[in-house]
Chain A
């Protein structure tokens, strides 16, 4: 059981590869860190893994099956900018419960308050919004989580408490985790192994 990537390549323009020949395997319950200079394709890779976009070559295999384009995606992506992932015209409770209704205990683990449910995204801070996008990604059928610069916009205390909450659930459910970050200190503390995506650039 693993999230496996074989010889993945992506380009926006023909033959101008962002990265090529990327092969990674994240076992169930494993934690891998990905870093590299800005512009080397970290977010693009994350979007391919979560099947928001299709690779130009190579394949993504989730627990032995080829990635499917429809239905629930067992690989869920948490974006860097939560304000860009919420419908601005929906109240938070509607964004949160769009795909499933989370249990009270999960909301408590991330300190989500009842009073925030009736608000619109613009009425919450970045840290508060990011808690919603994490809980939203923790659907019961989720098997792998990609955290793309999940806490760069947050202060150290909020950052530590959000990671603490997420890691407890990752451990409890034995989820696979990919951490994309520039902060090596975070990758060091959380991940079993890491890779530099630049090694696959301009191949």
Chain B
């Protein structure tokens, strides 16, 4: 039985136009993914193709005007906005995309300590250990989010999610943009270690090259649909084994490949 299964997920928003005129937009039409124990699934695709919305739908944190269709199953059990509460932050950990999720009025070390288990001294020790692990200085903990650079904020966000001993699934929404090479490798290695311990990982990213270093399979989204689901090994040299035209285009337009000549 897969750890996480999403079948034909759709997400619509009920919005008001001028006056009382109402209209419905449907950014996600039909997404299907599957993640097994210890497996890393990379989710790639166009900006605005619904990658973050998928994560938010699983975590049950969509805005109130969202209408969700299809099914999401965690270890065979259907989950919805109410039942997710018992998994959220425990069996299922989430690393949000936007650095705006950090509290601007709180020192970052205290934000990381909130989610950690144990008594105060254990939490302090754990937080300092996590910072060290991700290449952050102890003194960085005394800073407020506005005093950190983009890449440092990313790593702080990442540490906030490394919490529970009973985590079974990690959803990481774009954990890497703006991070330099060596810090990027720390984050990737950490995700790999997590997966090797039997935890399923969903890695939402634009950085296909980095994702391929650790991913087992790749799902490609476009305009709210899953257009491709293939093993990571299919992405090679000139993309010959990529049958889907969109996937091939995505691969070729990377700056490491043809870049602007692919357009």
Binding site for B on A (CB under 8 A): 12, 35-40, 43, 80, 125-128, 149, 152-161, 163-164, 167, 182-183, 185-186, 188-189
What is the distance, in angstroms, from A172's C-beta to the closest C-beta of chain B? 15
CA A38 – CA B157 in complex, angstroms?
15
Known contacts A43-B150, A125-B48, A127-B48: does B263 contact A156 (CB below 8 Å)?
A: no
In the complex, which residues of chain A have a beta carbon less than 8 angstroms from the beta carbon of B48? 125-128
CB-nearest residue of chain A to B48: A125
Binds A, one of B76-84, B101-109, B161-169, B178-186: B178-186
CB < 8 Å A-B pair total: 102
CA A39 – CA B151 in complex, angstroms?
7
Please indicate which of the listed interface residues A80, A128, A153 has the most CB atoms of chain B within 10 Å of its own CB: A153
Number of interface residues of B (CB under 8 A): 35
Please indicate which of the listed interface residues A35, A37, A43 has the most CB atoms of chain B within 10 Å of its own CB: A37
Known contacts A125-B48, A167-B260: does B179 contact A157 (CB below 8 Å)?
A: no
In the complex, which residues of chain B have a beta carbon less than 8 angstroms from the beta carbon of A158? 46-47
Determine if A149 and B152 form an interchain contact, defined as CB atoms under 8 angstroms apart.
Answer: no
Determine if B46 and A157 form an interchain contact, defined as CB atoms under 8 angstroms apart.
Answer: yes
What is the distance, in angstroms, from B247's C-beta to the closest C-beta of chain A? 11
CA A36 – CA B174 in complex, angstroms?
20
Determine if A127 and B47 form an interchain contact, defined as CB atoms under 8 angstroms apart.
Answer: yes
Identify which of residues 182-196 in chain B touch chain A, using a CB-to-CB cut-off of 8 Å: 182-184
In the complex, which residues of chain A have a beta carbon less than 8 angstroms from the beta carbon of B124? none
Contact of A155 among B46, B149, B152, B178 (CB under 8 A): B46
Binds A, one of B65-73, B226-234, B248-256: B248-256
Known contacts A39-B152, A182-B179: does B260 contact A157 (CB below 8 Å)?
A: no
Known contacts A38-B180, A160-B262: does B255 contact A189 (CB below 8 Å)?
A: yes
CA A157 – CA B246 in complex, angstroms?
9
Determine if A182 and B249 form an interchain contact, defined as CB atoms under 8 angstroms apart.
Answer: no
Determine if A154 and B179 form an interchain contact, defined as CB atoms under 8 angstroms apart.
Answer: no
Contact of A160 among B44, B46, B260 (CB under 8 A): B260
CA A126 – CA B182 in complex, angstroms?
26
CA A52 – CA B142 in complex, angstroms?
26
Q: Does B96 contact A (CB under 8 A)?
A: no
Determine if A43 and B149 form an interchain contact, defined as CB atoms under 8 angstroms apart.
Answer: yes
CA A152 – CA B255 in complex, angstroms?
12
Determine if B255 and A182 form an interchain contact, defined as CB atoms under 8 angstroms apart.
Answer: no
What is the distance, in angstroms, from A77's C-beta to the closest C-beta of chain B? 15
CA A54 – CA B47 in complex, angstroms?
35
Known contacts A39-B151, A39-B152, A157-B249: does B47 contact A183 (CB below 8 Å)?
A: no
In the complex, which residues of chain A have a beta carbon less than 8 angstroms from the beta carbon of B174? 153
In the complex, which residues of chain B have a beta carbon less than 8 angstroms from the beta carbon of A185? 254-256, 259
Determine if A160 and B151 form an interchain contact, defined as CB atoms under 8 angstroms apart.
Answer: no
Q: Does B148 contact A (CB under 8 A)?
A: yes
Determine if B260 and A125 form an interchain contact, defined as CB atoms under 8 angstroms apart.
Answer: no
Determine if B253 and A37 form an interchain contact, defined as CB atoms under 8 angstroms apart.
Answer: no
